[in-house]
């Protein structure tokens, strides 16, 4: 019987020799666990939990077929039986939980962050310092054999199949595009020659693993780089992939070096499923679509509208391993939604740290951070209902403690209530929705509009202070002028802002305020067509790479904005590695003047007087908005800190560099220990 609410999502997919229980793939993500101590044990727990959560099929993070294909030095590779035997711990955990799992074979080519990197031609990528070595004809044949060997070893390790990574600008993509393949031998030149490398990999893999083994090919359907493929070439290639023996084609959107956002939070949900839809009917094997699908309703619509046969979600499984079971059981309001911030997953990968998740610090730490039921129920007070306090209160209550949460404001969420009003950060609403439901489910007593005084905390066994932060006030002549506003005045109190504005401070909040002031009524994060126009992508995918000759079209900003900082460094340097460039580009689209090396002299009726690189200047602005960092709200803690049962977390503990990732993690870790 079909599922009443999600008939397409929960329809099994018959692959002939095996059946997937639903239409959801957990997409491949590098987590760094592969390289960790006890990595196999940790990966087994991580994937096992996701299998238990009901997903139809899992794809592992990318595993190299040889050393040259490493992501970084000593990255994971599948080259011998000893390694394959270790992987059995992972496949066992998944199979024990009625799941299915494929191993992704990823050869990074010129994206390899090491001196052994190889490519079809000796051309450096703009995102790696290493110039790759050109593969010889023998080298290419050997590499194909290594892909096949990795697949055979995956089969030995009891994987249900493999995914051959052919997109995102990695080695296979590098062979297919004339941008990176300048060869004149049988592996270069014509399109037929350029696709020979991947087709040989699929053919020889199929011959080696037999018929009853899943081979997914991840095909770049929209390159988003110059000299990318045309749609006709992509369709031709897809047909050849089917003929060569692939079981399923997964969609890849954009090379890593593309300068168009494809998965960040300002990208509308399911913004690229139309690309896969264009391929539907061209091949007879199932197609998977991907990118910014983080919710069962969106997934169901994508499938019902025949954009694909299956959806891939990756980060949503970091945020909530149970997303599928919760959807199936009508518990959608309990889903911890991925807000697409990249802060604890992708940014960690680029910083060579183990991945986790901003909204779920247990992700990739399943053997380390556990919320076990308490044997000693305590009365716990949590002061402050921002991300830190919410995380602490719900985790402690989930463990069986009796928790009271005090919040001075009329609603929970703390500074997240300011983040969620920024255009392109609408997903942040979901985290507050999630915590509200968790407070209800775990039985936390919530006292809103309740600013706590010291005396009220007598009688609690444990006191957690999570009173957060407040904007830093500046010492500057004229700062008391009505022209001067704090970011709270603008985002929370909605004070009117004039047409010419200077923002003092260019951290995350300065950038967000600039985004808010320049995108009034023109946010594209909820509208796929407007988003694609803003970033110069052809909605019909009729031009080369989906971008050739398409000029981005921006709505003009309703305001003239200066974004200022004292440091000489590039503005936005401290923003997330995978998202900072998007914020900078987005503000450039709106002609925001980003100026570094500024010193602030005074504010008067004329505006803001500054010195820029030793030259005095007057910025004639109507308003000056202070986004110059924050200070801790810790007065209550100062009064109580001699007591051994008092704890402090989040921004209240340390305002410098506080973000929701640290706040939520500290809350969860403290609550797990009480
Ligand atoms: P807060 O969020 O400040 O919460 C503290 C709470 O305690 C408040 O609700 C306050 O009312 C309450 N309180 C204080 N004193 C008392 C008392 N005596 N009694 C009762 N209640 C009290 N972070 C990210 O990681 N990613 C982002 O993209 C991001 N974007 C942001 C965008 C904006 C515009 C802003 C302003 C912030 C953003 N942040 C972001 C930062 C993030 O929101 C904060 O780091 C986080 O909210 C800090 O959490 P916290 O719980 O420590 O403090
Ligand atoms: P921040 O990143 O520390 O930036 C503060 C800015 O104010 C800096 O540009 C700083 O640069 C300037 N400044 C500091 N002291 C000043 C002073 N006395 N006078 C004038 N300027 C001063 O802090 P934030 O922007 O308030 O953000 C707070 C936290 O929220 C951050 O840690 C961030 O991680 C998080 N956040 C994240 C995102 C995101 O997208 N990931 C978005 C928003 C917020 P100069 O000293 O060079 O002038
Ligand atoms: Fe999603 Fe952010 Fe968690 Fe990554 S860190 S999985 S983007 S919520």
Closest CA to 188 of 105, 281, 119, 266: 119
How confident is the model over 291-299, as a mean pLDDT?
97
Mean pLDDT for the stretch of residues 614-641:
95
Query: Distance (Å, rounded) from C-alpha 372 to C-alpha 564?
Result: 47
Dist. CA 511–CA 517, nearest whole Å: 10
Q: Rounded to two decimals, what is the model's pTM?
A: 0.97
Q: Is 600 a catalytic residue?
A: no
Give dist(CA 517, CA 259) in Å, integer: 23
List the residue whose alpha carbon is closest to atom 43 of ligand 2.
508
507: CA distance to ligand 2 center in Å? 3
Distance separating alpha carbons of residues 187 and 251, to the nearest angstrom:
24
- Over 80: is that where the pLDDT of 522 sits? no
**Closest Cα to atom 45 of ligand 1:** 659
Ligand 3: distance of its center to the CA of 306 in Å? 27
Which residues make beta-bridge pairs with 604? 607
The verdict on the CB of residue 419 being under 6 Å from ligand 1 is yes
User: Across the strands, what pairs with 164?
Assistant: 105, 217
pLDDT > 90: percent of the chain:
95
Residue 53: pLDDT above 90?
yes
237: helix, coil or strand?
A: helix
**CATH superfamily name and code, 379-470+632-673:** NAD(P)-binding Rossmann-like Domain (3.40.50.720)
Q: How many CB atoms lie within 10 A of CB 302?
A: 25
Residue 19 Cα, ligand 3 centroid: separation in angstroms?
Answer: 30
For 341, 350, 360, 391, the CA distances from 663, given in Å and listed in that order, are 15, 21, 11, 8
What mean pLDDT is predicted for residues 586-590?
94
Cα(341) to centroid(ligand 3), Å: 5
* Average pLDDT across the chain, whole number: 96
Question: Which 3 state secondary structure label does DSSP give 400?
Answer: coil
CA of 202 to the centre of ligand 3 (A): 33
Q: What is the pLDDT of residues 353-392, one digit of tens each?
A: 999 999 999 999 999 999 999 999 999 999 999 999 999 9
The confidence band for 658, taking pLDDT boundaries of 50, 70 and 90, is: very high
Question: pLDDT, tens digit, for every residue of 194-251?
Answer: 999 999 999 999 999 999 999 999 999 999 999 999 999 999 999 999 999 999 999 9
Mean pLDDT of 399-426: 97
pLDDT tier for residue 615 given thresholds of 50, 70 and 90: very high
Residue 554: pLDDT above 90? no
Beta bridge pairs of residue 414: none
Give long-range contacts, CB 8 A cutoff, 24+ apart: 438-441. 438/334, 438/390, 438/394, 438/398, 439/390, 439/393, 439/394, 439/397, 439/405, 439/412, 441/334
Q: What's residue 273's pLDDT?
A: 98
91 lines ligand 3 (CB under 6 A): no
pLDDT, average across residues 279-289: 98
Contact 513, 583 (CB under 8 A): no
Instruction: Give the model confidence (pLDDT) of 438-458 as tens digits.
Output: 999 999 999 999 999 999 999
Q: Out of 6, 46, 47, 170, which one is annotated catalytic? A: 170
Burial of 442 (0-12, 13-18, 19+ CB in 10 A): middle
What pLDDT is recorded for position 36?
A: 86
- Which residues on adjacent β-strands are paired with residue 485? 625
Report pLDDT for 613: 86
Strands 607-612 and 598-604: antiparallel
What are the residue boundaries of the structural domains of the chain, listed by start?
13-338, 379-470+632-673, 473-520+557-628
The reply to whether ligand 3 has any atom less than 6 angstroms from the CB of 318 is yes
Q: Relative to the CA of 651, which ligand 1 atom is closest? A: 52
Please, what sign has the CA dihedral across residues 475, 478, 480, 485? negative
**What contacts 24+ positions apart, CB below 8 Å, involve 535-538?**
535/260, 535/261, 536/260, 537/222, 537/224, 537/260
Tokens standing for residue 562: 């200066």
User: How would you classify the pairing of strands 287-289 and 310-313?
Assistant: parallel
Sign of CA dihedral 481, 485, 486, 489: positive
Give the number of other Cβ atoms within 10 Å of residue 577's Cβ: 14
Domain 13-338 grouped into CATH 3.30.390.30 = no
Residues 6+ away with beta carbon under 8 Å from 482: none
Domain 473-520+557-628 has CATH 3.50.50.60: yes
Look at residue 34 in the predicted model and tell me its pLDDT.
87
329-353 per-position pLDDT tens digit: 999 999 999 999 999 999 999 898 9
> CA–CA separation, 55 vs 310, rounded Å?
12
Shortest-distance Cα residue to atom 31 of ligand 1:
419
Going by CA atoms, what residue is nearest to atom 8 of ligand 3?
338
> What is the 8-class DSSP label of residue 622?
S
Residue 62, H or E segment: strand 57-63
Q: How far apart are the first and last CA of the chain?
A: 45
For a ligand 1 pocket test, name from 319, 418, 447, 468 the mutation site with the most ligand atoms within 8 angstroms of its C-beta: 468
C-alpha 396 chain-centroid distance: 27
Can you tell me the mean pLDDT for 661-674? Answer: 98
| Whole-number pLDDT of residue 245 | 98
So what's the pLDDT on residue 520?
A: 81
Decide if pLDDT at 516 tops 90: yes
Cβ neighbours around 647 below 10 Å, total: 23
Testing ligand 2's pocket by substitution, the residue of 505, 577, 602 carrying the most ligand atoms inside 8 A of its CB is: 505
The C-alpha atoms of residue 424 and residue 419 are separated, in whole angstroms, by 10
The predicted structure's pLDDT at residue 270: 97
Radius of gyration (C-alpha) of the chain in whole angstroms: 26
> In what helix (H) or strand (E) does residue 51 lie, and over which residues does it extend?
helix 39-52
């Amino acid at each position: 019987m079909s599922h009443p609410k999600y008939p397409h999502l929960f329809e099994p997919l018959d692959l002939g020799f095996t059946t997937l229980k639903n239409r959801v793939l957990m997409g491949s993500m590098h987590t760094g666990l592969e390289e960790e101590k006890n990595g196999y044990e940790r990966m087994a727990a991580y994937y096992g939990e996701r299998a238990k959560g009901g997903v139809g099929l899992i794809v592992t993070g990318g595993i190299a077929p040889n050393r040259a294909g490493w992501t970084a030095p000593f990255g994971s590779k599948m080259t011998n039986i000893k390694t394959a035997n270790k992987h059995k711990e992972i496949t066992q955990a998944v199979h024990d939980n009625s799941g299915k799992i494929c191993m992704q074979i990823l050869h990074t080519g010129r994206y390899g962050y090491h001196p052994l990197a190889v490519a079809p031609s000796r051309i450096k990528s703009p995102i790696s310092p290493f110039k790759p070595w050109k593969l010889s004809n023998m080298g290419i044949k050997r590499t194909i054999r290594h892909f096949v060997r990795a697949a055979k070893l995956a089969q030995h390790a009891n994987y249900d199949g493999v995914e051959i990574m052919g997109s995102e600008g990695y080695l296979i993509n590098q062979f297919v595009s004339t941008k990176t393949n300048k060869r004149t031998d049988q592996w270069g030149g014509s399109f037929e020659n350029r696709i020979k490398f991947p087709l040989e990999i699929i053919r020889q893999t199929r011959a080696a693993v037999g018929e009853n083994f899943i081979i997914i090919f991840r095909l770049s359907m929209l390159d988003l780089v110059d000299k990318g493929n045309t749609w006709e070439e992509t369709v031709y290639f897809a047909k050849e992939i089917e003929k060569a023996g692939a079981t399923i084609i997964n969609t890849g959107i954009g090379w890593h070096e593309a300068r168009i956002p494809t998965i960040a939070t300002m990208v509308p949900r399911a913004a690229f499923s139309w690309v896969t839809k264009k391929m539907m009917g061209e091949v007879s094997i199932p197609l998977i679509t991907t990118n910014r699908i983080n919710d069962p309703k969106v997934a169901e619509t994508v499938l019902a509208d025949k954009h694909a046969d299956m959806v891939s979600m990756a980060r949503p499984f970091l945020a909530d391993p149970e997303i599928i079971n919760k959807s199936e059981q009508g518990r959608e309001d309990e889903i911890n939604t991925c807000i697409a911030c990249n802060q604890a997953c992708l940014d960690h990968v680029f910083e060579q740290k183990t991945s986790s998740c901003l909204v779920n610090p247990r992700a990739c730490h399943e053997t380390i951070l556990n919320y076990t039921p308490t044997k000693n129920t305590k009365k716990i007070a949590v002061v402050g209902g921002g991300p830190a306090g919410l995380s602490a209160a719900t985790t402690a209550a989930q463990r069986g403690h009796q928790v009271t949460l005090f919040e001075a404001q009329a609603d929970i969420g703390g500074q997240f209530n300011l983040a969620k009003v920024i255009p392109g950060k609408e997903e942040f609403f979901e985290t507050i929705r999630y915590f509200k439901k968790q407070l209800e489910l775990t039985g936390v007593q919530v006292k809103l509009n309740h600013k706590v005084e010291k005396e009220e905390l007598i009688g609690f066994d444990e006191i957690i202070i999570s009173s957060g932060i407040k904007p830093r006030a500046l010492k500057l002549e004229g700062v008391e002028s009505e022209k001067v506003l704090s970011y709270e005045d603008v985002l929370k109190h909605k004070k009117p802002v004039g047409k010419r504005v200077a923002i003092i401070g260019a951290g995350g909040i300065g950038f967000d305020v600039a985004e808010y002031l320049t995108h009034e009524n023109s946010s594209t994060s909820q509208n796929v067509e407007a988003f694609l126009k803003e970033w110069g992508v052809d909605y019909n995918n009729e031009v080369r790479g989906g971008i050739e000759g398409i000029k981005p079209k921006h709505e003009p900003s309703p305001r003239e904005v200066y974004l200022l900082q004292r440091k000489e460094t590039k503005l936005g340097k401290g923003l997330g590695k995978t998202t900072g460039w998007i914020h900078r580009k987005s503000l450039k689209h709106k002609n925001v003047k980003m100026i570094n090396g500024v010193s602030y002299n005074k504010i008067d009726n004329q505006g803001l007087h500054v010195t820029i690189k030793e030259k005095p200047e007057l910025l004639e602005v109507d308003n000056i908005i202070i986004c110059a960092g924050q200070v801790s709200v810790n007065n209550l803690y100062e009064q109580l800190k001699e007591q051994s049962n008092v704890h402090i977390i989040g921004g209240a503990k340390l305002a410098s560099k506080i973000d929701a990732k640290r706040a939520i993690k500290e809350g969860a870790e403290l609550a797990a220990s009480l």
